Amino acid sequence: MNHKSIESNKHQETSISKYLLVWVSLLVFTSITVTIAGLNLGSYALLIAVFIAIIKSSLVINIFMHIKYEEFIFKVFLAIGGFTLMIIFLLTFFDYTYR
Amino acid sequence: MNNENSIAIQNEHVVHRDDVGARLGMWLFLFTELLLFGGLFLVYAVYRHLYYEDFKIAALSLNTTIGTLNTIILLTSSLTVALSIAVLQKGKRQLSIILLMLTDVLAIIFMINKYFEWSAKIHHGIFPGSEHLLGLPEGQILFYGLYYIMTGLHALHIIIGIVFISIVLVFVSRGSVNENNYVKLENAGLYWHLVDLIWIFLFPFFYLIQ
């Protein structure tokens, strides 16, 4: 019992340091986006901004929102939700590109 | 020890709780939010494509400093709410309450910044339907329309999040949300992280176009 509680404490201790690490990396990514936006990279700027936003959101979803540690069904749900949104975007973009 | 265990087993039989189901339900709700904002981002993407130059010119007038500041504030508030769950799991109720209060304070600071940002815009005559705005090119009208709708809807979510977190804060201080039963706090946290997620995309799309 005692051994077990020490172990679970250890786990939570690492989760706290993990949260702090994620927070720091989110701030670093934010400063990278702001810096890149000031560089005048033209059309690449949007691509990089979207890419960084996706990295940031995967950090938030996996660690802060615990998806990484959730049961498999949560990942299936998330994949279906993300896939649906992607289909809606792709179909609309096709329509506007080849109209 | 043995006695404790048997009580725990008895309690398990009495209290029917499904924490996984509760979190899954919260996620289902978050997906509807994803589609709500996803639709708006889609409209944004199409109009930005059609009015590329107008969007660029209009975006230059947005205050990047306030946008960046609010990004840092929201990211930090996401950290505090995540930490409040972690410390409650360890049984540190007081610390958990302080962290939740801090989350609320950060959210209110975000709203105060938003107030100054919007009132500066409105002061310059830029608000939906204003004479000055209607005199601008079509693309700029669309940009500001989307700006007010999307950041406004996001701000509404911030207000709902403040209420949600405050209610859970009361539960934590009363002890009905505790180290053995914290799914309500987890769900409030999930909602708050979603608000943060949406801002992660709003920020570069509106404040960082150069």
Q: Do residue B204 and residue A49 have CB atoms under 8 angstroms apart?
A: yes
Task: Give domain status of residue B181, yes or no.
Answer: yes
Beta carbons of B97 and B169 less than 8 angstroms apart: yes
What interhelical angle do B183-207 and B19-50 show, nearest 10? 10
What ranges in chain B are assigned the alpha helix state H?
Answer: 2-14, 19-50, 52-60, 64-89, 93-123, 131-134, 138-174, 183-207
Q: Is B5 or B162 the better-scoring residue by pLDDT?
A: B162
Q: Do residue B79 and residue A20 have CB atoms under 8 angstroms apart?
A: yes
The pLDDT of residue B165: 98
From chain B, the residues in CB contact with A65 under 8 A are 189-190, 193
Q: How far is B129 from chain A (nearest CA, A)?
A: 28
Task: Give domain status of residue B10, yes or no.
Answer: no
Q: Which one of B68, B90, B193 has the shortest CB-CB distance to A65? A: B193
Average predicted confidence (pLDDT) for chain B? 92
Statement: residue B176 has pLDDT above 90: yes
Domain ranges of chain A: 2-65, 70-99
The pLDDT of residue A39: 84
Q: Domain count of chain B?
A: 1
**Which residues constitute the domain of residue B128?**
19-207
The pLDDT of residue A88: 95
Within 10 angstroms of residue B77's Cβ, the number of other Cβ atoms is 27
Within 10 angstroms of residue A33's Cβ, the number of other Cβ atoms is 24
Task: Give domain status of residue B12, yes or no.
Answer: no
Task: Report the Cα B82 to chain-centroid distance in Å.
Answer: 13
Q: Which one of A34, A70, A85 has the shortest CB-CB distance to B34? A: A85
Whichever domain contains B87, its CATH number is 1.20.120.80
Task: Give domain status of residue B171, yes or no.
Answer: yes
Rounded Cα distance, B86 and A26, in Å: 19
Q: In chain A, which residue's Cα lies nearest the Cα of B64?
A: A34
ipTM of predicted complex: 0.88
Task: Give domain status of residue B5, yes or no.
Answer: no
The pLDDT of residue B7: 54
Longest dimension (CA), chain B: 78
Task: Give domain status of residue B201, yes or no.
Answer: yes
Residue ranges in chain A modelled with pLDDT below 70: 1-14
Beta carbons of B59 and B143 less than 8 angstroms apart: yes
Query: What is the share, in percent, of chain B residues with pLDDT greater than 70?
Result: 93
Q: Which one of A45, A52, A93 has the shortest CB-CB distance to B210? A: A45
Beta carbons of B51 and B142 less than 8 angstroms apart: yes
Q: Do residue A23 and residue B75 have CB atoms under 8 angstroms apart?
A: yes
SS (H, E, C) chain A: CHHHHHHHHHHHHHHHHHHHHHHHHHHHHHHHHHHHHCCCCCHHHHHHHHHHHHHHHHHHHHHHCCHHHCCHHHHHHHHHHHHHHHHHHHHHHHHHHCC
Q: In chain B, which residue's Cα lies nearest the Cα of A25?
A: B75
